[in-house]
Amino acid sequence: MGNRFGAKTTLLPDAGPGDIVLVHAGFAIQIIAEEEAKKTWQLIAEIDEFSDTQNRVSG
């Protein structure tokens, strides 16, 4: 899922390998808890599913 690119951790010195981070203008600015990140991913998946259903109904 998503893109692959480098980001600096200067603003987030506690971040380490395996962490999920929020990136803004090339810099990681916050660590996101895996559970919270999962909620967002799940919501995105739900929205995708929902719009698929809508398309089928209207199409």
Partner 1 sequence: MLERIYKAQQMMDGACKALGRQINIMEVCGTHTVSIFRNGIRTVLPKAIKLLSGPGCPVCVTDQSYIDIVLELAQRDDCIIATYGDMIRVPGGAGSLETRKSTADVRVVLSSEDALQLAKDNPDKTVVFIAVGFETTAPATAVVIKEAAERDIENFCVLSGHKLVVPAMRALLSEKNDRIDAFLCPGHVAVIIGYGAFGQIVDEFSRPCVVAGFEPMQIIEGLGEIARQLGEGRAELGSVYTAAVTEEGNTVAQRLIAECFDCADGYWRGLGEIKKSTLKVKDKFEQFDAFRRFDVTETPTEDTSGCRCGEVLCGLIEPSQCRLFAAACTPETPVGPCMVSSEGVCAAWFKYSRRKEKRK
Could you list the residues that contact partner 1 (CB under 8 A)?
8, 10-13, 22, 24-27, 29-30, 32-33, 36-37, 39-40, 43-44, 46-47, 50
DSSP string, 21-58: EEEETTEEEEEE-HHHHHHHHHHHHHHHHHHHHHHHHH
Per-residue tokens: 42: 């799940």
Phi first, then psi: give them for residue 5, nearest 5 degrees.
-160, 165
Q: How far is the CB of 58 from partner 1 (least distance, A)?
A: 14
Q: How far is the CB of 10 from partner 1 (least distance, A)?
A: 5
Q: How far is the CB of 54 from partner 1 (least distance, A)?
A: 12
